[in-house]
Amino acid sequence: MAEANSPIKLNLKHPELFRDQAYVDGKWIEAKTGKRFDIIDPGSNQKFASCPDMAAEDVDNAVQAAQNAFQVFRTFTPRVRADLLAKFDALIREHKDDLATILVYETGKPLVEAYGEIEYAASFTRWFVGEAERVQGTTFPAAMPGRRIFTIKQPLGVTAALVPWNFPIAMVLRKASAALAAGCTMVAKPSPETPLSALALAYLAEKAGYPKGVFNVLPTTLANTPALSEALCRHPLVKKVTFTGSTRVGKILSAHCADGLKKLTLELGGNCPFVVFDDANLDQACDALIPLKFRHAGQACITANRVYVQRGIYEKFANLLAEKTRRIKVGHGTDKTTTMGPLTVPTGVDKTAAQVEDAKKHGGTILTGGNRVNLNNGYFFEPTIITNATPAMKIAEEETFGPLLALFPFDNEEEAVKAANNTSMGLASYCFTKNVDRMWRMFENLEAGMIGLNSGNSSAAEAPFGGIKESGFGKESGKDVAINEYLITKTGTLTLEGQY
């Protein structure tokens, strides 16, 4: 199902999964203004759907619905919350074919990557089924006689999730699964490029049995996003905000939340370094780097941006990497032979092209790629490798969010660490070496919240996810830490008579 006048037909197995209205208090509704906006397929630059353009004036109804629902949902036992999340998880897996189709047309990623995202996303629902029943209080021996000290954990209340377009199902579920497991309710604002996937999840949550108002979705345009997001952040009933996106926007949201001293989780920009020493297994490093860099056309916060290669293996590694990169097939995500799709937004193509031109001006050499791809009027760019990279290039300072990587030579470990850490960001870093002592030093000395050690993408439901420096704070996923982002700790002190 899609819009009747669209040349694109989704041909979903379950047409009812296609939802193109906002979801508030268990109802599918339009914006108060009645306005709608178009959803564009990045692989063809064609409209295939539209959604209500919710605005700041639509926020209060959603938050009030979530608050009313919280008064009931907070009383559900951990076992009931776990059972609901398990049903949600089962429905997501049951509808993975249709969800993957929606993902391809919203984001542009190849079908195989769309399936990969759904499997990754469902790992969070599965993980937090268990976390729901692992929330525990504590007891402490008191210094004063006759006293007992103990704590309990309770859900925060209404939460707001501001979600990006690059992994729209995974990012919704990584946030919502933790919130729902804790007993919180949520108002989610998906990116303007990818609202349909979030609305499909709302339909499945309803089907799983979540009461009305527990999970709400407000689609909106880029123009209305700042005001709607500010209204969510400043609403007195919203007790926590979780955001994945740019550092610039993260700082703005922090200011909005500061007035109400709201709990905040920020997962922000990356510009991640990838360090290859001369004793590394080069095939292993290349096979980790290529999917890490070119998955979803390089549009991931933890993707490698700056690749530092020890001088003795620089040329060999560059040639091996280029050989493997040239095997990537660029095309529309629905083509089963495609291994890299378009960028999701046209500005991403422009930024990638600008960084390539900047690198050329500063003496960089294009080893492979470097050009826009004229295909179906979509937003395509070749997978690109630049050699002879220097710190003067924009790619050394700016997160690319495109299929471009630069190879920087280095001579020794101290130089590599200094260069890798020379950024305001600190989300993830990667290191490849067979020297265990060096590996451990790099783990301790690289300034990032997550370090891949002879590993590429290390994100997993069981592992804490989050950065340091200007890449944000707070953790998503992992045991205890993620669900604690949605809980308060309440301390009780009891004085006894007639007891030591």
- Cα-based distances in Å from 113 to 26, 163, 193, 333: 31, 19, 18, 9
Return the DSSP state at 341.
Answer: -
Distance separating alpha carbons of residues 328 and 341, to the nearest angstrom: 10
Q: How close are the terminal C-alpha atoms of the chain, in Å?
A: 70
Distance separating alpha carbons of residues 138 and 247, to the nearest angstrom: 36
Handedness of CA 88, 262, 471, 362 (dihedral sign): positive
Judged by phi (left if over 0) then psi (alpha if -120 to 50, else beta), residue 122 lies in alpha
pLDDT in tens, the chain (500 residues): 455 566 688 999 999 999 999 999 999 999 999 999 999 999 999 999 999 999 999 999 999 999 999 999 999 999 999 999 999 999 999 999 999 999 999 999 999 999 999 999 999 999 999 999 999 999 999 999 999 999 999 999 999 999 999 999 999 999 999 999 999 999 999 999 999 999 999 999 999 999 999 999 999 999 999 999 999 999 999 999 999 999 999 999 999 999 999 999 999 988 999 999 999 999 999 999 999 999 999 999 999 999 999 999 999 999 999 999 999 999 999 999 999 999 999 999 999 999 999 999 999 999 999 999 999 999 999 999 999 999 999 999 999 999 999 999 999 999 999 999 999 999 999 999 999 999 999 999 999 999 999 999 889 999 999 999 999 999 999 998 999 999 999 999 999 998 99
CA torsion, ordered 457, 461, 464, 468, to nearest 10 deg: 50
Handedness of CA 119, 125, 130, 135 (dihedral sign): positive
Q: Which of 441, 404, 58 is nearest to 225 (CA)?
A: 58
Is 495 exposed, middle or buried, given 0-12, 13-18 or 19+ CB atoms closer than 10 A?
exposed
Q: From the candidates 51, 233, 286, 301, which is the catalytic residue? A: 301
pTM for this prediction = 0.95
Q: From the candidates 106, 117, 206, 267, which is the catalytic residue? A: 267
Say what the pLDDT of residue 260 is. Answer: 95
H or E element in which residue 325 lies: helix 314-325
Say what the pLDDT of residue 458 is. Answer: 81
398 catalytic? Reply is: no
> Based on C-alpha coordinates, what's the Rg of the chain?
24
Say what the pLDDT of residue 8 is. Answer: 80
Pairing, β 304-310 against β 404-410: parallel
Distance separating alpha carbons of residues 182 and 180, to the nearest angstrom: 5
**CB-based contacts of 391: which residues, under 8 Å, 6+ apart?**
408, 419, 422
Phi and psi torsions of 54, nearest 5°: -65, 150
Quickly tell me which residue has 């690749």 as its tokens. Answer: 307
- Cα-based distances in Å from 189 to 22, 118, 157, 217, 444: 10, 19, 17, 6, 36
Question: Angle 118-124-126 (CA atoms, 0-180°, nearest 5)?
Answer: 100
Q: Are 368 and 338 in contact (CB under 8 A)?
A: no
Any alpha helices (H) in 395-470, and if so which ranges?
413-421, 436-445
233 catalytic? Reply is: no
